[in-house]
């Protein structure tokens, strides 16, 4: 059981439960109250944690993280305290612009994980209403180029949902992306989020429910922290009914002790009885497969970075000789000759302080 031996944890942090897309398989509208995590809540969360090199902080949750104006700052805060901890952002890709992306790369983001479901506009726009395929493709291309020009430190990866409809086409999906310079992938089996998402055509039917009372890897190694600071028993608890505690006013130790007690006594919340998440279904073997892949990815990235270091050094030297200021704005796409995309108009990007953020949150959640 690799994950347990290594003590791996993946902290899923919901910086935003607001979103600009309405994916047909995503039940996020069931969340009773939506908003964005304050800096104070995020800071409290970090205060309570001790993270190591096998831990990850994944900015994901049930909304679109790139809509949060402080996302780069949050990544930077993690890297400043825990430099070895892997940081992830999972995004629908619609907001990867010259305003949002360079600050994330500069903050030291390790993985940019882009959700893209469909290879033609009709399928993509049916799966992800509100997003336009051609436009998002432009954002993905921009991300690949910019990450590469910034030194290739951030892994740009595509994730896609595998359903009965596309299960046969995984090779085609990866071939499509390889042509666009993507070499890392994450496949997710579609599931109904413990009964929260209505069953849609193509949803996997082989998963079985009723694992209540059996160990759950998701629950054990993937703590989920909502935008309000609530630590949920499980990410799939859309209605936020099984809250273990709140990082705003409780210590992480107390919250974890509560969770351990639940796991020890087998007092699983009712939601677990309907769970069909493959991460649970396939139990530890599946999770360990994910961990193995992640470990290999990190080793590959480390090796490539080491091999590329002299090349980058020579390139930097050559640039410096041509123009003394060239190195000072390494992450400005314009200085790199990168064609930038028109940003999606989301008013919150312009916000600079907590007060204005609150005002925008209430406007967006209407």
> C-alpha angle with apex 347: 103 to 21, nearest 5 degrees?
85
238 or 252: whose CB is closer to ligand SAM?
238
- One of 28, 139, 280, 281 touching ligand SF4 (CB under 6 A): 28
Nearest distance, CB of residue 250 and ligand SAM, angstroms:
26
Contact 94, 86 (CB under 8 A): no
Nearest distance, CB of residue 261 and ligand SAM, angstroms:
29
Decide: is 26 part of the binding site for ligand SAM (CB under 6 A): yes
14 or 288: whose CB is closer to ligand SAM?
14
Site string for ligand SAM, 178-197 (x = CB under 6 A): ----------x-xx-x---x
Host H or E run for residue 57: strand 56-59
21 or 252: whose CB is closer to ligand SAM?
21
Q: What is the DSSP letter of 324?
A: T
Tell me which of ligand SF4, ligand SAM, none is bound by residue 191, counting a contact when its beta carbon lies within the kind-specific cut-off of 5 to 8 angstroms: ligand SAM
Q: In angstroms, rounded to a whole number, what is the distance separating the alpha carbons of residues 184 and 187?
A: 10
SS (H, E, C) 121-177: HHHHHHHCCCCCHHHHHHHHHHHHHHHHHCCCCCEEEEEEEECCCCHHHHHHHHHHH
Q: Is 176 exposed, middle or buried (0-12, 13-18, 19+ CB in 10 A)?
A: middle
Which listed range, 21-29, 32-40, 300-308, 330-338, lies at the site for ligand SAM (CB under 6 A)? 21-29
Helix, coil or strand: residue 174: helix
Decide: is 111 part of the binding site for ligand SAM (CB under 6 A): no
Decide: is 8 part of the binding site for ligand SAM (CB under 6 A): no
Contact 36, 15 (CB under 8 A): yes
Site string for ligand SF4, 79-98 (x = CB under 6 A): -------------x------
> C-alpha angle with apex 15: 242 to 188, nearest 5 degrees?
75
Rg of the Cα atoms in the chain: 20
46 or 131: whose CB is closer to ligand SF4?
131
244: Cβ contacts below 8 Å, ≥ 6 apart = 230, 231, 232, 233, 255, 258, 259, 262
Nearest distance, CB of residue 216 and ligand SAM, angstroms:
16
Q: In angstroms, rounded to a whole number, what is the distance separating the alpha carbons of residues 194 and 237?
A: 8
Q: In angstroms, rounded to a whole number, what is the distance separating the alpha carbons of residues 96 and 364?
A: 19
Q: In angstroms, rounded to a whole number, what is the distance separating the alpha carbons of residues 178 and 154?
A: 17
Decide: is 26 part of the binding site for ligand SF4 (CB under 6 A): yes
Decide: is 271 part of the binding site for ligand SAM (CB under 6 A): no
Tell me which of ligand SF4, ligand SAM, none is bound by residue 22, counting a contact when its beta carbon lies within the kind-specific cut-off of 5 to 8 angstroms: ligand SF4
Ranges within 196-225 binding ligand SAM (CB under 6 A): 197
Q: How many residues bind ligand SAM (CB under 6 A)?
A: 18
The DSSP string of 223-239 is: -EE-TTSEEES-TT-TT
Decide: is 126 part of the binding site for ligand SF4 (CB under 6 A): no
Site string for ligand SAM, 114-143 (x = CB under 6 A): -x----------------------------
- One of 55, 64, 113, 207 touching ligand SF4 (CB under 6 A): 64
Which listed range, 23-31, 168-176, 283-291, 306-314, lies at the site for ligand SAM (CB under 6 A)? 23-31
Hey, which residues does 243 pair with through a beta bridge? Answer: 232
Q: In angstroms, rounded to a whole number, what is the distance separating the alpha carbons of residues 122 and 319?
A: 44
Binding residues for ligand SF4, rule: CB under 6 A, are: 19, 21-23, 26, 28, 62-64, 92, 128
């Amino acid at each position: 059981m690799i994950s347990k031996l290594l003590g791996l944890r993946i902290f899923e942090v919901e910086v935003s439960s607001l979103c600009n897309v309405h994916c047909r398989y995503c039940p996020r509208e069931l969340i009773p109250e939506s908003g964005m995590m304050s800096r104070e809540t995020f800071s409290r969360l970090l205060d309570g944690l001790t993270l190591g090199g096998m831990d990850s902080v994944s900015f994901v949750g049930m909304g679109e993280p790139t809509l949060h104006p402080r996302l780069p700052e949050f990544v930077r805060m993690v890297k400043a305290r825990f430099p070895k901890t892997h940081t992830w952002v999972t995004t629908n890709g619609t907001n990867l612009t010259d305003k949002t992306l360079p600050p994330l790369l500069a903050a030291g983001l390790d993985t940019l994980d882009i959700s893209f479901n469909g290879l033609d506009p009709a399928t993509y726009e049916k799966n992800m209403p509100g997003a336009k395929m051609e436009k998002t493709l432009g954002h993905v291309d921009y991300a690949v180029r910019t990450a590469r020009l910034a030194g290739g430190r951030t892994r740009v990866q595509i994730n896609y949902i595998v359903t009965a409809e596309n299960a046969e086409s995984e090779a085609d999906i990866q071939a499509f992306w390889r042509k666009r310079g993507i070499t890392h992938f994450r496949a997710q089996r579609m599931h109904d989020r413990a009964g929260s998402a209505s069953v849609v055509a193509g949803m996997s039917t082989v998963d079985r429910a009723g694992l209540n009372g059996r160990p759950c890897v998701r629950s054990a190694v993937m703590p989920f922290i909502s935008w309000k600071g609530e630590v949920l028993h499980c990410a799939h608890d859309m209605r936020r009914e099984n809250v273990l505690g709140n990082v705003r006013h409780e210590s992480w130790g107390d919250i974890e002790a509560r969770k351990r007690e639940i796991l020890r006594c087998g007092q699983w919340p009712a939601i677990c009885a309907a769970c069909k998440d493959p991460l649970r279904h396939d139990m530890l073997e599946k999770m360990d497969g994910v961990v193995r892949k992640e470990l290999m990815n990190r080793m590959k990235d480390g090796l490539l970075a080491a091999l590329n270091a002299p090349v980058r050094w020579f390139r930097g030297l050559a640039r410096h000789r041509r123009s003394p200021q060239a190195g000072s704005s390494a992450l400005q796409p314009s200085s790199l000759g990168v064609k930038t995309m028109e940003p999606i108009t989301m008013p919150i990007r312009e916000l600079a302080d907590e007060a204005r953020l609150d005002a925008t949150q209430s406007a967006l959640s209407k």
